[in-house]
Amino acid sequence: MQTDVWNILDSCAFFTQIHPDGNLATVVDIESEIVNRQSKQYYSSLVNKGLKIIEPSKESIELVERKAVETGDYDVLSSVDLKILALGYELKGTIVSDDFAVQNICLHMELEAIGCNGKKIKEIRNWKYKCSACNKIADKKENACSVCGSKDVFRIKVK
Interface ranges with Zn ion (CB under 5 A): 131, 133-134, 136, 145, 147-148, 150
CB of 132 to Zn ion, least distance (A): 8
Q: Could you give the CA distance from residue 67 to residue 74 in angstroms, rounded to a whole number?
A: 8
CB of 143 to Zn ion, least distance (A): 12
Residue 18 vs 156, nearer CB to Zn ion: 156
Residue 18 vs 144, nearer CB to Zn ion: 144
Residue 35 vs 134, nearer CB to Zn ion: 134
The residues near 19 (Cβ < 8 Å, ≥ 6 apart) are: 7, 9, 13, 96, 116
Q: How many CB atoms lie within 10 A of CB 33?
A: 16
Helix, strand counts (H, E) of the chain? 5, 8
Beta-bridged to residue 154, according to DSSP, are 130
Q: Could you give the CA distance from residue 82 to residue 59 in angstroms, rounded to a whole number?
A: 12
Query: Angle at which helices 100-108 and 79-91 pack, to 10 degrees?
Result: 30
Encoded amino acid at 66, one letter: R
Q: Could you give the CA distance from residue 47 to residue 26 in angstroms, rounded to a whole number?
A: 10
CB of 108 to Zn ion, least distance (A): 27
Residue 83 vs 130, nearer CB to Zn ion: 130
Residue 35 vs 137, nearer CB to Zn ion: 137
CB of 126 to Zn ion, least distance (A): 20
CB of 158 to Zn ion, least distance (A): 18
